[in-house]
Amino acid sequence: MSAAESPRPSRTATRSLSLLAAAALAACTLAAYHGCFRVPFVFDDTTAVLENPSIRSLWPVWGAFFPPAEATTMGGRPLANLTLALNYAVSGTDVWSYHAFNVLVHVLAGLALLGVVRRTLLLPRLRARFGSDALPLSLAAALIWTLHPLQTESVTYVVQRVESMVGLFYLATFYCLVRSSDSARPALWRALTVAACVLGMATKEVMVTAPVMLLLYDRTFLAGSFGGALRIRRGLYGALASTWLLLAVLVASTGWNRGGSAGFGSASPVAYWLTQVEAVAHYLRLSAWPHPLVFDYGVHLAGGPGEAAFCALVVLSLASATAVAVWRRPALGFLGAWFLLILAPSSAVPVATQTMAEHRIYLPLAAAAVALVTGAYALAGRRCLVPLAGVALILGFLTSARNEVYKSPLSLWGDTARERPGNARAHNNLGMALSQAGRIPEAVAEFEASLRIQPADQATHSNLGNALDRAGRPTEAIAQYRAALQLQPDFAPALYNLAKALYETGQFAPSVSEYESAIRAQPDYADAYKGLGDALQAVPGRSDEAMGRYEQALRLRPDFAEASEGLGVALCASGRAPEGIERIEAALRLKPGFAKAHFDLGNALVQTGRVAEAAGQFEEALRIDPELAEANSNLGMILCRSGRIPEGLAHIEAAIRSKPGFVPAHFLRGLALLQMGRKDEATAEFEKVLELRPGDPSALKMLGLIRSAP
């Protein structure tokens, strides 16, 4: 029996093989992304997840459809924002459910691609050439697409689920369209086509091209002509076109510019378009050779036509070849159009925050995967399947390795800064990661590198100020905050940081003024209200005002443990110790490992005469933070007063080691030494107090007593 006469597999066997292929695709994708489930939130995840109040509740459900303007990645994308709310309901800010959702969407998108390619290869126009191996070919294409490391950003980076979700809905529209062409219930599948398109429009703007690409697909593989497609499915295309109205409403809801991050007023259109020519050529290269991959390309714009000339030649050649192929080789033309038209929205409308981004290639990459597989099959037949499987395996290993880079902000931004040394934002974010890791000198160096590239960035000046402050260089830190404010006088973070630095250097009245400026610039700035409470508490006679500011901070953020602790301290200072103790205990319920709150609770308990309980709180504070000098000093004082002088002295000396210039600890050490009969050492200690605080009356009194004693 010849191959042409060989019987086709039964429907049951075909279904079993399809399920096996789907299971293989899902298993391979999970294997490639197994390392992503503990990847932390990074970059835009902060505003879209951690600082997005609209995802905190699922009721009323419409509230989750409307993120604040600051969550720019989710603005005008209600369905994507709703999925974040669902994740928050499942796991709060624990990352695992967010990544599980992203991987699930990617698997489903891969399955949709498998289904679209398989059914397309079985259509009359392609069946003779590819039909006998449609399933293995479609599996190879879907595996290469799903496992390609270029997809990592769209899967592992939480907020870029907008790209993978719109990819799923985009592919679903094609699957439903092709099913409608040979189904006994075409109306159902056409309704599903429109529904998928609506969901895509509610996810990301790139869906705008779907109705056009569906018409081109229909003309190429189903109807044979545009006229025929419109005649057969006129109602379908009318309904698809109507989904553009939904997209227009959603884009309008962002002010047509996504909070200033996109639109023709956000960047020079000509410079941006020249940059996109470079970007498209770069995406083509990465499709074939995915190295090096870059998480954030920054805001680079092409310097002029000469800089983009070669890339323009490449892209124009591809566009010209696609235009010719659409008419003469429609299947090839469709793949070229898929690649270029899906990139068109982000290439045409300037995106100021990212002029190039790998997540934009998520859907266009499908054309490259299908072209590779069908081209290899046309040249080598079934012999190409094993090499294609090898390509997919290699890509899967590369994706797994790429996920390792995402394991921490330090590794991700370190890799980005190495690959794009001219990206100021990468150096700034690497500086922040280094600062969080306690590597302050390296953080300072990265912030300075960022400012050499982009000197007029107020946020980086403020971040450098924070690092200098932590490095014990407060004067330089204050200078950086003032530099930030020269660039933007109402920049609330710099006003807050300046106020904090002034407070820490004992300049309490100026600190109050700057905190108030920060609040005027950002009225809902809970941290600034808390800081203002601290500063007012340090100014004589303003304790009542301090309590009011702490209460305002708690109204804005009820789970703000530090504000509750500050209010407790203020209540104790005003003679309301029982209320103060309640507030500090509330802070500890919110934040059990809060060393300073344990210390403050110890002080409050001392104030109410509960000295033994106070000692326990100081011990707990030291268990959490062994270097907390004040807790060591106060615990030492309690022990000395209870007659356990050697133990008390040990804690006092530990306080001095942690904080050599800590006057109260030096004074207590003098008292302990005096109790132990070591007058000469006690004298030296009281003299040290006078050196640190000239004219200290308590030290002078003790020295007078020692010298007057027989």
Sign of CA dihedral 629, 632, 634, 636: negative
Write the CA distances from 13 to 75, 118, 140, 175, integer angstroms: 46, 15, 19, 21
For residue 295, which amino acid is it? F
Q: Is residue 376 part of a domain?
A: yes
Q: Is residue 506 part of a domain?
A: no
Sign of CA dihedral 619, 620, 626, 631: negative
List the one residue out of 125, 126, 150, 149 whose CA is nearest residue 138: 126
DSSP 71: -
Q: How far apart are CA 179 and CA 671, in angstroms?
A: 89
Query: What pLDDT, on the 0 to 100 scale, is given for residue 73?
Result: 86
Q: Tell me the residue range of the domain where 312 lies.
A: 11-40+95-404
Contact 609, 633 (CB under 8 A): no
Q: How far apart are CA 621 and CA 603, in angstroms?
A: 12
Q: Is residue 1 part of a domain?
A: no
Contacts of 703 (CB under 8 A, 6+ apart): 683, 686, 687, 690
Q: Is residue 107 part of a domain?
A: yes
- Reading the block at residue 76, the tokens are 């005008």
For residue 483, which amino acid is it? A
Query: What pLDDT, on the 0 to 100 scale, is given for residue 260?
Result: 63
Contact 338, 367 (CB under 8 A): yes
Q: What is residue 600's three-state secondary structure?
A: helix
Q: What is residue 67's three-state secondary structure?
A: coil
Query: What pLDDT, on the 0 to 100 scale, is given for residue 257?
Result: 73
Q: How far apart are CA 295 and CA 276, in angstroms?
A: 17
Q: What are phi and psi of 644, to 5 degrees?
A: -100, 65
Q: What is residue 351's three-state secondary structure?
A: strand
Query: What pLDDT, on the 0 to 100 scale, is given for residue 266?
Result: 59
Query: What pLDDT, on the 0 to 100 scale, is given for residue 6?
Result: 45
Contacts of 215 (CB under 8 A, 6+ apart): 226, 229, 230, 237
List the one residue out of 487, 489, 566, 584 whose CA is nearest residue 526: 566
Contact 573, 542 (CB under 8 A): no
Please give the full DSSP string across 14-50, using - where no structure is assigned.
Answer: HHHHHHHHHHHHHHHHHHHTGGGTTPPP-TTHIIIII
Instruction: Identify the burial level of 192 via C-beta atoms within 10 angstroms of its C-beta, where 0-12 means exposed, 13-18 middle and 19 or more buried.
Output: middle
Q: How far apart are CA 665 and CA 686, in angstroms?
A: 11
Contact 374, 130 (CB under 8 A): yes
Q: How far apart are CA 158 and CA 177, in angstroms?
A: 30
Contact 530, 563 (CB under 8 A): yes
Domain count, the chain: 1
Q: How far apart are CA 614 and CA 612, in angstroms?
A: 5
Contact 29, 106 (CB under 8 A): yes
Q: Is residue 334 part of a domain?
A: yes
Q: What is residue 262's three-state secondary structure?
A: strand
| Cross-strand partners of 351 | 262
Query: What pLDDT, on the 0 to 100 scale, is given for residue 707?
Result: 86
Q: How far apart are CA 634 and CA 606, in angstroms?
A: 10
Those residues of the chain that have pLDDT short of 70 are 1-9, 70-71, 258-266, 710
List the one residue out of 475, 470, 484 whose CA is nearest residue 434: 470
Q: Is residue 666 part of a domain?
A: no
Q: How far apart are CA 145 and CA 478, in angstroms?
A: 51
According to DSSP H, which parts of 591-678 are helical?
Answer: 595-607, 611-624, 629-641, 645-658, 663-675
DSSP 9: P
Query: What pLDDT, on the 0 to 100 scale, is given for residue 8?
Result: 58
Q: Is residue 36 part of a domain?
A: yes
Query: What pLDDT, on the 0 to 100 scale, is given for residue 708?
Result: 85
Query: What pLDDT, on the 0 to 100 scale, is given for residue 3?
Result: 40
Query: What pLDDT, on the 0 to 100 scale, is given for residue 4?
Result: 42
Q: Is residue 343 part of a domain?
A: yes
List the one residue out of 99, 102, 119 whose CA is nearest residue 176: 119
- Reading the block at residue 628, the tokens are 């907390």
List of long-range contacts for 484-488, beta carbons under 8 Å, 24+ apart: 484/458, 484/459, 485/458, 487/456, 487/457, 487/458, 487/461, 488/458
Query: What does the longest C-alpha to C-alpha distance in the chain come to?
Result: 124
Q: How far apart are CA 5 and CA 592, in angstroms?
A: 75
